[in-house]
Amino acid sequence: MAFQPAFCLLLLICVSTATAATQEPEPEFDSSEPSTERVAQPEVDPEAKAAWMAQQKLWASRPLPEDAESLQAYTVQLRNDHLAFYQAWPNSSFGWRALVEAARLEKQLPGAEFQSLKRMLQGLEILQKARQKDPNSFPGISLPLHQLLCARYAADLKQFEQARKLLQPLADQESPAQEVAKRRLAFLQRQELCQVGNPAPSFLVLDQGGKSHSLSEFHGRVLLLEFQSPAALMGAKGFTRENVFRQELLDRGVAVLVLWLEARPANWKASESLTGIPQIEAPFADPKGIAWNFAVGASPSKILIDGDGVIRGRDLRDGELRSLVDTLLAKDAEPESDDSKLEQTNGGNF
């Protein structure tokens, strides 16, 4: 299904804010081992193509719900429709695409992430077995690309060993995907190191005024690293909303650094003058930059670090962030014990 970028972003944001998955029966799904016999039919089936195009028009004609609950139900129905199409056309490349699209939609449903990974891996296995039998099967679909996508998905779900098993063969074999796989393996290592509960990596960055900021500067304070991009803010309203939330954190004594993964918006100076928050360029592409060191792969991404330099939260929604800030500030307000004083004397993560 061809989503417009703005539609995809809206769908992801709205669905991710829902608190519980809609209880709707899932269509029966063939979970048996993929067989090469299933791809014996011609790959480009005119009837399957016509059905796919008709289904695309049907999906595109549906109005997009406005509230989060209805939008989640809409996503569930769309996922089920894609699975039903795959069941009807399992031997067609269009059916395979429907399976992958179902997995992508399922990723947005709370509690369904691991089922979605299972579908992605099943699609990969179908491709692999089909290509072993006939290298020309499923034309127009890149096996290495799908393998890279599965690896990224597994890593996002903290299935690091699964991700490594998918990436290592691509990294060891000379192909156009080799360098990408090597970079993904290096990024995977950063993801493992930057999980909640681990010490935050040290950093030294320059803000828009040329002032340097380092992790040690915030010793004893709760620090929010907010990795942003103009597209993620979705216009002026999003920009203003984030400024209000940042000011709320500042008023509570939380330090905030805004790190732009892409070019900063034209009114970034207005943001700085409104809140006094340092604005820092932190491009994705910099292999030695702060975004890479903290394993940030998308925006927005908010990372909360406690006064001891330990990562306490990642990819938090505002409500989750407020709750965690409450906990950390309450902990900081508690009287220090003799043991904690001794620990600080011996040195912490800073």
Convert the pLDDT of each residue in 168-225 to its tens digit: 999 999 988 999 999 999 999 999 999 999 999 999 998 888 899 999 999 999 999 9
Q: Average the pLDDT over 242-250 and give the result.
A: 83
Map out the domains of the chain as residue ranges. 5-141, 204-346
- What is the Cα–Cα distance from 100 to 35, expressed in whole angstroms? 18
Strand order in the sheet with 223-228: 279-281, 255-260, 223-228, 301-305, 311-314
Tokens of 58: 């049907």
> Of 319, 311, 297, which Cα lies nearest the Cα of 157?
297
What's the predicted TM-score (pTM) here? 0.66
- CA 213 vs. chain centroid, Å, equals 27
- What are the residues facing 305 on neighbouring strands? 223, 311
- What is the Cα–Cα distance from 73 to 21, expressed in whole angstroms? 8
Q: What is the DSSP string of 145-211?
A: HHHHHHHHHHHHTT-HHHHHHHHHHHHHS-STTHHHHHHHHHHHHHHHHTSTTSBPPP-EEE-TTS-
Evaluate whether 177 touches 145 at the Cβ level (below 8 Å): yes
pLDDT tens for 255-298 read: 999 888 876 655 555 555 555 788 888 887 677 789 999 999 87
The rounded radius of gyration (Å) of the Cα atoms in the chain is: 23
Residue range 204-346 in CATH 3.40.30.10 = yes
> Of 173, 119, 172, 179, which Cα lies nearest the Cα of 146?
119
- The share of the chain scoring above pLDDT 70, in percent, equals 73
pLDDT, residue 30, reads 40
Evaluate whether 181 touches 167 at the Cβ level (below 8 Å): yes
Evaluate whether 315 touches 301 at the Cβ level (below 8 Å): yes
Q: Are strands 301-305 and 223-228 parallel, antiparallel or unpaired?
A: antiparallel
- What is the Cα–Cα distance from 216 to 204, expressed in whole angstroms? 9
- What is the Cα–Cα distance from 72 to 105, expressed in whole angstroms? 10
- What is the Cα–Cα distance from 124 to 167, expressed in whole angstroms? 13
pLDDT tens for 15-66 read: 343 333 333 344 343 444 333 333 333 345 678 778 878 877 877 777 767 6
> Of 44, 136, 61, 47, which Cα lies nearest the Cα of 96?
44
